[in-house]
Amino acid sequence: MAGSALASQAGGADSGDDCVDHEFWLQRWREGRIGFHQDAVTPWLREYWPGLGLPAGSQVFVPLAGKSLDLVWLAAQGHHVLGVELSPLAVEQFFAGHALAPQLSESRYGRHYRAGNLELICGDAFGLDDEVLAGCAAVYDRAAMIALPPPLRERYVDGLYACLPSGCRGLLITLEYPQAQKHGPPFSVPEAEVHGRLDRDWQVTALARRDILADQPGFVAEGVTALETVAYRLDRRA
């Protein structure tokens, strides 16, 4: 199930807002504590991405990309994939895992790894701007927004999402649960918050909602009483 794969990122999560610190994520990659990584393409990506109707060759932005197999799937659809990831280990493991020898270059955004129509910037997502994102026709957010606590979610949307151009389309996948019952990451991002943060600049359309608590014994063990995953289509207003 799509939700099962999504919520798997809770595995091994630490509590508290120290997760916003760069060292927190770098250490998790060094120690291999990457329960958020999926070993299969996200089912809801396969199901809902074609509905965006993107032309062949469109550039797709993937924030907090990790070494996700979703990147390869998007590239196989004929897209140019532009991801950003903080951890050098994640980026190197991604290309090595697919037997790709990327070309390297440096910019003010970080180190760029390019192989075919795949490009990953090893750097801070919050350091990107409208210049590097100007050509993005779409955004795919499966694990970025839910990785961030509320103060950083505000900065993320007001900064990074605001840099995406008019006409950009996207697929956003979130989790919802009673936040008081569990520390993130992943964090609960309620539908009201999604609309509250995005409605000014984006048309937000809920595509699907699924109860996945029965598939997530880790959440149940922590006392979580409800858990849903939600998929949204996003359309950037002019």
Measured between alpha carbons, how far is residue 186 from residues 13, 98, 171, 228 in Å?
A: 8, 27, 18, 12
Angle at 176 between CA 230 and CA 156, to 5 degrees: 85
User: Nearest CA to 186 among 36, 3, 1, 4?
Assistant: 36
Mention every residue, 6+ apart, whose C-beta is less than 8 A from residue 213.
219, 220, 224, 225, 226, 227, 228
pLDDT average, residue stretch 174-183 = 96
User: Higher-confidence residue: 178 or 183?
Assistant: 178
| Binding positions | 29, 64, 85, 142
Specify the pLDDT at position 67.
86
Residue extents of the structural domains in the chain: 2-236
Mention every residue, 6+ apart, whose C-beta is less than 8 A from residue 179.
187, 188
Residue-wise pLDDT for 205-224, tens only, equals 999 999 999 988 989 999 99
2-236 topology per CATH: Rossmann fold (3.40.50)
CA–CA separation, 81 and 61 (whole Å): 6
| Average of per-residue pLDDT values in the chain | 87
Specify the pLDDT at position 40.
82
| Binding positions for S-adenosyl-L-methionine | 29, 64, 85, 142
Hey, what are 31's tokens? 């120690």
Burial class (CB in 10 A: 0-12, 13-18, 19+), 199: exposed
- In this prediction, residue 1 has a pLDDT band, given cuts at 50, 70 and 90, of very low
CA–CA separation, 157 and 134 (whole Å): 16
Q: Are 145 and 120 in contact (CB under 8 A)?
A: no
Specify the pLDDT at position 16.
40
CA–CA separation, 114 and 169 (whole Å): 23
Mention every residue, 6+ apart, whose C-beta is less than 8 A from residue 230.
173, 174, 175, 176, 191, 194, 206, 208, 209, 210
CA–CA separation, 149 and 51 (whole Å): 30
- Kindly write down the DSSP assignment for every residue of 200-219, as one continuous string: TTEEEEEEEEEE-GGG-HHH
- In this prediction, residue 38 has a pLDDT band, given cuts at 50, 70 and 90, of low
pLDDT average, residue stretch 54-58 = 94
pLDDT average, residue stretch 195-205 = 98
- In this prediction, residue 36 has a pLDDT band, given cuts at 50, 70 and 90, of low
Specify the pLDDT at position 9.
38
